[in-house]
Amino acid sequence: MRRISLHFINECYGLKSAVLSTHKLVDATNHCASNIANSLSAVLNECNLFNKVVTIVTDNDASMKEKCELMKMKHLPCVSHTFNLLVQDLLKIDSIVPLLAKCKRIVSLFKSSSIATKKLKNAQTSKSRYGLIQEVPTRWNSAYYMIQRIILVNDSLSALLLNSTKDPRPLSADEMFVLVEICQVLAQFHEATVQISTNKTLSISVIIPLIYELHQKSCKVYSQVISHPALDICEAVKKRLPERFSHYETRTVTRIATLLDPRFKKDGFLFTSNSEKAAKALQLELFSSLSRVLSTPDISTPPNTPQEKRNSFFTFLETKISNKVHSNIRMLLRTYFEGPNEPEDKDPLAYWMANSESLKPITKLF
């Protein structure tokens, strides 16, 4: 069964979501790209939405990308899923695997015994008493939560393990130091995942700035950690972060979304060259949009009234009017870009609603 969700902005600049379908595929026994494409096309056509879709967001599976190619639609890999793939790779680094395995054994020991769990909670002196958290292999942040919880209750945990005849033995001071540094590295990805995993606020405009922030924080963490496993993770992040995420800054839909977020504008890009290319793409999109409006026939003309084709004698006017439209668009964008950025906690849609008249040609793109 495939869940198909729709996200859109209504006429009142409100972010809305809806579930279009939870039906099985056309051929429930076949998960090939063509079958997925046919199933999705059927739903979109039934809802009269096929020609209104801006982009399709899915996981990183190759069949999903191929499906969008068959439908001739733009595809955007889910950022949260991409985060998961990246961090899963980090957790498989040779210098980290043995320590994580020991953590999992400790958690399994307590999870397999309600008595052991109760003893752990009773051994804690704080008002809030915690159990351990089991890692779920398909969700990287569960490993982060597991490590975080072990660090939190380690004093009580070590005392119980010392008095136990079973393996594993308590974590050493060196192992705890490494866990703290690993947690420090993973924290930035946890924060990014939480930031992007929402249906209540705009997320597509946050993708590029979020990746920029990860680059900055990764460099900062790299300069702070000293254990070999943590340094190994940082080295892997330095290499794999661009591999996994650099394409988001060159995709039209994500970079125009960032430009149109008044909190970021051109300042949300890691590379200035990409922000300038994005601004040019936005300018062309605006000109194309206005050109379509100007070329649309007058709908006030009665349907049975003969339409005479007008051959303009003063052809030079067309060029001058076109240049004037270009100039007006450039001035409008300059006014927007050079204005102050909105605060981080400001709803970008509230900004566009408040400026719907003064920046009307831009809001027509929404």
Q: For residue 299, what pLDDT is reported?
A: 44
- CA 71, 251, 205, 221 dihedral sign is positive
Tens digit of pLDDT at every position of the chain (366 positions): 578 999 999 989 999 999 999 888 888 888 889 999 999 999 999 999 999 999 999 999 898 999 899 999 999 999 999 999 999 999 999 999 999 999 999 999 999 999 999 999 999 987 888 999 999 888 888 999 999 999 999 999 999 999 888 778 999 999 999 999 999 999 999 999 988 887 778 899 999 999 999 999 999 999 999 999 999 999 999 999 999 999 999 999 999 999 999 999 999 999 999 999 999 999 988 888 776 655 555 444 455 545 455 566 666 666 666 667 778 888 889 999 999 999 999 999 999 999 998 888 888 777
Q: What pTM, to 2 d.p., does this model score?
A: 0.85
Residues 11 and 150 in one domain: no
Q: For residue 300, what pLDDT is reported?
A: 46
**Number of domains making up the chain:** 3
**Residue 71 lies inside a defined structural domain of this protein:** yes
Q: For residue 314, what pLDDT is reported?
A: 66
Q: For residue 301, what pLDDT is reported?
A: 47
CA–CA gap between residue 168 and residue 210 (Å, rounded): 39
Q: For residue 294, what pLDDT is reported?
A: 52
Residues 90 and 234 in one domain: yes
CA 229 → CA 186, 235, 249, distances in Å? 12, 10, 30
Q: For residue 23, what pLDDT is reported?
A: 84
CA 265 → CA 259, 275, 357, distances in Å? 4, 9, 19
Q: For residue 272, what pLDDT is reported?
A: 93
CA 55 to chain centre: 14
Residues 318 and 356 in one domain: yes
Residues 98 and 246 in one domain: yes
Residues 54 and 162 in one domain: no
Residues 161 and 244 in one domain: yes
Which of the listed residues 21, 44, 77 is the one where a domain comes to its end? 77
Three-class DSSP category at 10: coil
